[in-house]
Amino acid sequence: MTQLPAQGYFYPYDSIDELYAEKQPPEFGRLSSVWKLDLPNWRFFHARTKEDIPESWTEPEFDDDSWDLINVPSVWQMQGYGYPSELVYEKNALLSKKTSKLQQRLADDAGMENTNDYGLYRVWVNLPEQFIHRFVYFVSDGIVGHYSISINGKHISSSRSTFSTTKCLLNEALHEGANLISIAVRRFDMRMEKGRLKKNVRAQGAFGFSGLFRLPYLIAESDVEISSVRLFSSFLTDTLAKDVVPKTALVSSLYRSDNDDQLTDREKEILSDAEIRRDAGLNVEVELFNHLPYDVQVTINCRLMEARDEYDLYNLPEHRLSQRKELSDTIPKEGVKIMGTEFYAKLVLPWTDQTPNLYDLIIEVRNNKDEVICVKKQRFGFRTITYSESIIHINDVAVPIHGVKYYEFDPEDGISVPLERFRQDILMMKSANINTIYVVHHPTDSKFFDLCDEYGMYVILQSAAAVLPQTVYSLINHPCIIMWSMTGKRFEENAYLDVKQRINAFDAKRPLYCEIDKTGTVSDMPPFPNNAGMIFGEWCDLCINRRYLKSKLKEDKVLFESILARPRREEDTMDLKYIHQGDLVEYSEQIGVSIAQGIVDANRRPHPIFFEVKKQCEGIKIFSSAEDPSSLNVHNVLQFGATPSIELKWQLLIGGVRLTGGSGIVPPIPAMGNRAMQFPFKVGDFLTSAWAQQYPKAVEVYNQAVCKELLLDIRLTLEKDSLYARAGFELAFYQQVLVDEVCDPNEKDDAVGSVAEDGSIQIIDASALESSLILDEKKPAVQMLTSPAFLYAQTKHVRYGFSRHEGGLCSVKIEGKEYFDGLLEPSFYRAASNIDRADKSYVLSQTVFSHETDWRTIQGEIRFIGSFYEMDGDDFHLICKYTSNGMKGPILVHYRVKPDGRLMATIEFVPKFDLVRYGFRVPIDSRTHIGWYGRGNGESYVDRKESQRIGWFTSLDSPLYHEYARPSENGAHADTKYLLLQLDDIKGLAIKKNKMDPFSFSCLPYMPEDLDDCSHQELIESDGRTHLYLDFYMKGIERGPDVLDRHKVAKNVRYEETIEFAPKL
């Protein structure tokens, strides 16, 4: 018997009264049914080879007392029986050009304990008499691996992996009382390919996991079974609505008490959210299957209920329905009949991502004696989809796609993802303003789509072309699904067109997306990014919780011992956090393989890219007037639904120090609406010293500020808790530099302020005070001291030390405290990012940025070849010369120490190859506190910085290093204008460029070489120092071609940049 497609969680009931017996229904309205039996507890045996499978194990007489107990849903690899075969998004996507065919084959086989690896499941089910007299199906939402089902020793069905709901009829092998269900799951699939049986086929997106990874259950259907229902909604024009919709919306309606005859029926009826309600049509097709050996005449009745978290059982929110024709017909014996009509409802609530309103259609089937045969319920939403010129329209409104790729994965459960993990993912996406989830490779659990329906999230659903029609059949009624997508190992146009034709016959509303279609003959959409929007990348890391998996191993087992072609490693016995792709395979390259790294880590801790995505997808935008920067408009750019109540906090900052500000509540802004705001300042006032008369703290703030630019900073936060975030959560921020340099208020004396300041805003702590930089007005000459190993240039408060043997600045002492812990050197090398390692052209003994050179090798082979020093007037000069194979001519570093204590370090060079970065690197005291004016508080790069606001930040409350599962480049801070190193609360070393030009810095506990050489964070051995990198240029962290073109620093060009050091007391 074959597996039949089925609709998920489509349970039978005996009467409508069962559906509304309780005020508070279960989540998703999934009421328990007496005709459904879950199967969560099984006996399990892991057979490493086919020969290890016990004889007659499917027979009832077989003794399985020695077998392990296992709970499903689960995959057996996460229960201590083996490992996944790969933790990568796309198979073989991460192999470099240098990888040999043998290594590729070993990588393919890694993780396979044996090609005949089996999981055997047995469970006894006690079936009451009433079950046996109905038609009992075994239903599964997902089994990964080729499997076969037996009942009481009789083989019933075999199938390849299934990822959407299927069912098979069991009656021929069942009897009243105890029944044995046995399932054998082969780790990998088998399928016919070009007339030959192909074994060891891996299900895409399963990562080598196997088992009953979604909960199976039994369903007992009635004699006439409601097999499925298809629902398609539409919104009616006013003209059509007048003729077909009922006069009132709800069966039990409330009306206005006045008797104004001018009001229409629509206006008299009291309805919540009346402003967004619309008259709608609902096309209903019900598929019935008659199990009986004779014809049956039936009538179908339908009722429409608004889905609620709580019901008034005496006043249900039922909509009146009118219908085009009655649903009454005869179902042939042992046959199928599809019955359909169109219903009309008045003033329903549309479904969108911002207004996820849901309804329940109750379907009741009666016989010719008016007896109830069966009742079922289908949850859905009134939502229409159209598309033109690759733009998606939801309910006739163009909606941009802001999406992520989603792989069903949990660090402790593999692809058997718990409901709360799904919920966490969706709420995090909502908080980042992501509105679309591109479910890749196969459909997730039906509960995931229920959550998307409930919270409001659009879904593009991908499935293999061969099984996509089955997927569409199972999940067609979810309003969240706005597009189908099909994939395969290769694009076969004729076969794909045939699949598309079958899908369109079943669902002609949704567009079809085929990412591998380069011709446009099958796909209704070009590859993303396109006019419809963009997909930002994969959602989460594919990493396993190592400690959890280790706890599941048997006492005589150790990690990875059963993986073929993988030698033992020293770190296998170490207490590390994760297992990732680098642990499952063995490569000879130095830096190692890329891992599957997403927008959040496996435990859903955001990576820095998360905040960049959030910024790009903001649903609230602020725009200023070109004529008057103090006049701004707050726009709700979302297509549906008003904004929540928002608290707006604003500040005027000078160099990160708060001058004035305030706060207030912004009432809800309707969809696509805006609210104008006038702020109490005039930009022109800051161009003269007159602004000191308006602000009491003008002189104090100006003197404190390390940078004299005037910045408007606005934060928009939730006033109250929402579904996805707590009160105070930042929805959006806006910053604008109003004046590059404000006029010095000290030019006029006795400036008395007249404007009171709102004390509800906290002042940003900017302890780096430019006024306290040491400037000796007598300009004494710099004192030069020498020794066999060092040169010293000393001023009143600072002494700079230079190494004669290694060249360059090696010591900065300010009033006896040493800030450097090593040598200041030219810097041209950074650690690889995970995206670098994922590039197919990335040869791991070279860098991704040039096929001709290796900047790590170049960095390590830079050699100091000599120096020259002199006094030029009052200034001390030292020129250091370095040789490098990566440069045309020498690298020159020119140090100039001024009598006021400032030191200027200038680097000059001509590279032979395209650059990764250039600047300086130096170890500093690990106790040093860091403060900076620039972007923070998270990391920022030239191509990924808009999510980081401008202000004053410190290492006490800002992360300087981000831990990835596989250590990678991280921690840069672009657009820095002022950097302060402090060993106490007062003194410090200030670093900046001339004219406050921006630069980038990183301050990390490790060197880039350490990050490249270690596959896990715990394996990095710190040298106890903090490593400071001062960059004039850093390549973008992303790898798009537009990024490489826009931010490229070319070879064969002379570069010269200067950084300034100065003591601060």
- Percent of the chain past pLDDT 70, that is, above it, reads 88
**Average pLDDT value for residue range 356-364:** 97
> Is the Cβ–Cβ distance between 120 and 184 less than 8 Å?
yes
Amino acid letter, 353: D
**Average pLDDT value for residue range 188-201:** 66
Q: What is the pLDDT of residue 569?
A: 82
Please, what is the average pLDDT of the chain? 88
State yes or no: cis peptide before 937, omega within 30 of 0.
yes
Residue 250, C-beta contacts closer than 8 angstroms, at least 6 positions apart:
269, 271, 317, 318, 319, 320
Does pLDDT of 848 surpass 60?
no
Q: What is the pLDDT of residue 91?
A: 64
Does pLDDT of 510 surpass 90?
yes
Which runs of consecutive H residues, i.e. helices, occur in 746-875?
A: 834-838, 855-860
Does pLDDT of 589 surpass 70?
no
Q: Mapping DSSP to helix (H, G, I), strand (E, B) and coil, where does residue 1042 land?
A: helix
According to DSSP, the residues that pair with 66 across neighbouring strands are: none
Amino acid letter, 710: L
Q: How many CB atoms lie within 10 A of CB 692?
A: 25
Q: Show the tokens assigned to 943.
A: 């191509």
Q: What is the pLDDT of residue 425?
A: 97
**Average pLDDT value for residue range 510-522:** 92
Does pLDDT of 188 surpass 90?
no
Q: What is the pLDDT of residue 1032?
A: 96
Buried-state track 475-486, b at ≥16 Cβ within 10 A, e below 16: bbbbbbbbbbbb
Q: What is the pLDDT of residue 555?
A: 64
Does pLDDT of 715 surpass 60?
yes
For the segment 620-653, what is each residue's pLDDT rounded down to a tens digit?
Answer: 999 998 889 999 999 999 999 899 999 999 999 9
Does pLDDT of 928 surpass 80?
yes
Which has the closest alpha carbon to 862: 830, 884, 892? 884
Q: Cα 703 to chain center, whole Å?
A: 43
Q: What is the pLDDT of residue 780?
A: 58
Does pLDDT of 1063 surpass 80?
yes
Buried-state track 783-803, b at ≥16 Cβ within 10 A, e below 16: eeeeeeeebbbbbebbbbbbb
For the segment 745-759, what is each residue's pLDDT rounded down to a tens digit?
Answer: 987 544 333 333 443
Task: Calculate the alpha carbon distances from 113 to 85, 578, 869, 910, 1016 in Å.
Answer: 9, 21, 67, 54, 25
Q: Cα 86 to chain center, whole Å?
A: 21
Q: What is the pLDDT of residue 261?
A: 57
Q: Mapping DSSP to helix (H, G, I), strand (E, B) and coil, where does residue 566 land?
A: coil
Distance CA 169, CA 286 (A): 20
Q: Show the tokens assigned to 529.
A: 């990014």
Q: What is the pLDDT of residue 115?
A: 54
> Is the Cβ–Cβ distance between 812 and 797 less than 8 Å?
no
Residue 945, C-beta contacts closer than 8 angstroms, at least 6 positions apart:
612, 935, 974, 975
Q: What's the pTM?
A: 0.91
Which has the closest alpha carbon to 761: 676, 648, 634, 677? 648
Does pLDDT of 198 surpass 80?
no
974 burial type by CB count under 10 A (0-12 exposed, 13-18 middle, 19+ buried): buried
Question: To 10 degrees, what angle do helices 446-455 and 419-431 make?
Answer: 30
Task: Calculate the alpha carbon distances from 279 to 245, 425, 643 in Å.
Answer: 7, 34, 24
> Is the Cβ–Cβ distance between 999 and 707 less than 8 Å?
no
> Is the Cβ–Cβ distance between 333 and 290 less than 8 Å?
yes
Q: Cα 189 to chain center, whole Å?
A: 30
Q: What is the pLDDT of residue 850?
A: 46
Q: Tell me, what DSSP letter sits at residue 764?
A: P
Distance CA 794, CA 1063 (A): 12
Band (pLDDT 50/70/90 cuts) for residue 1059 is very high
Does pLDDT of 808 surpass 60?
yes
Task: Calculate the alpha carbon distances from 542 to 409, 484, 545, 614 in Å.
Answer: 7, 24, 10, 21
Residue given tokens 């060092």 in the structure block: 790
Q: Cα 317 to chain center, whole Å?
A: 37
Which has the closest alpha carbon to 429: 543, 599, 597, 544? 599
Q: Mapping DSSP to helix (H, G, I), strand (E, B) and coil, where does residue 612 land?
A: helix
Task: Calculate the alpha carbon distances from 958 to 601, 626, 769, 955 in Å.
Answer: 19, 34, 20, 5
For the segment 461-499, what is each residue's pLDDT rounded down to a tens digit?
Answer: 999 998 999 999 999 999 999 999 998 878 889 999 999
The residue that leads in pLDDT, 189 or 1049, is 189
Residue 255, C-beta contacts closer than 8 angstroms, at least 6 positions apart:
268, 269, 270
Does pLDDT of 98 surpass 80?
no
Distance CA 910, CA 1056 (A): 9
Does pLDDT of 84 surpass 90?
no
Does pLDDT of 416 surpass 90?
yes
Band (pLDDT 50/70/90 cuts) for residue 765 is very low
> Is the Cβ–Cβ distance between 516 and 488 less than 8 Å?
yes
Which has the closest alpha carbon to 824: 938, 905, 930? 905
Does pLDDT of 856 surpass 50?
yes
Band (pLDDT 50/70/90 cuts) for residue 769 is very low
Rg for the chain (alpha carbons), in Å?
34
Distance CA 111, CA 82 (A): 8
Residues 780, 782, 784, 789, CA torsion sign:
positive
Q: Mapping DSSP to helix (H, G, I), strand (E, B) and coil, where does residue 626 land?
A: coil
Residue given tokens 């800030």 in the structure block: 819
Q: How many CB atoms lie within 10 A of CB 363?
A: 21
Q: What is the pLDDT of residue 461?
A: 97
Residue 320, C-beta contacts closer than 8 angstroms, at least 6 positions apart:
246, 248, 249, 250, 251, 345, 346
Q: How many residues are present in the chain?
A: 1065
**Pairing label, strands 189-193, 68-71:** unpaired
Helix (H) or strand (E) holding 387: strand 385-388
Does pLDDT of 104 surpass 60?
no
The phi-psi region of residue 396 (left if phi > 0; otherwise alpha if psi is between -120 and 50; otherwise beta) is left
For the segment 731-740, what is each residue's pLDDT rounded down to a tens digit?
Answer: 999 999 999 9
Which has the closest alpha carbon to 1002: 983, 965, 974, 1043? 974
Does pLDDT of 550 surpass 50?
yes
Does pLDDT of 768 surpass 50?
no
Band (pLDDT 50/70/90 cuts) for residue 1058 is very high
> Is the Cβ–Cβ distance between 714 and 733 less than 8 Å?
yes
Q: What is the pLDDT of residue 383?
A: 97
State yes or no: cis peptide before 788, omega within 30 of 0.
no
Does pLDDT of 565 surpass 90?
no
> Is the Cβ–Cβ distance between 362 and 377 less than 8 Å?
yes
Q: Show the tokens assigned to 72.
A: 């499903």
The residue that leads in pLDDT, 708 or 781, is 708
Distance CA 526, CA 1053 (A): 40
Q: Show the tokens assigned to 67.
A: 């077998």
For the segment 776-807, what is each residue's pLDDT rounded down to a tens digit?
Answer: 344 457 898 988 899 999 998 899 999 999 98
Band (pLDDT 50/70/90 cuts) for residue 185 is very high
Distance CA 445, CA 449 (A): 7
Task: Sketch out the chain's domains with CATH numbers.
Answer: 4-221 (2.60.120.260), 224-380 (2.60.40.10), 385-538 (3.20.20.80), 618-766 (2.60.40.10), 783-1064 (2.70.98.10)
Please give the biggest Cα pair distance in the chain: 113
- The pairs formed by 465-468 with CB atoms below 8 angstroms and a separation of 24 or more are 465/492, 465/495, 465/496, 465/499, 466/499, 467/162, 467/163, 467/164, 468/499, 468/503
The residue that leads in pLDDT, 432 or 956, is 432
For the segment 860-898, what is each residue's pLDDT rounded down to a tens digit?
Answer: 999 999 999 998 889 999 999 999 999 999 999 999 999
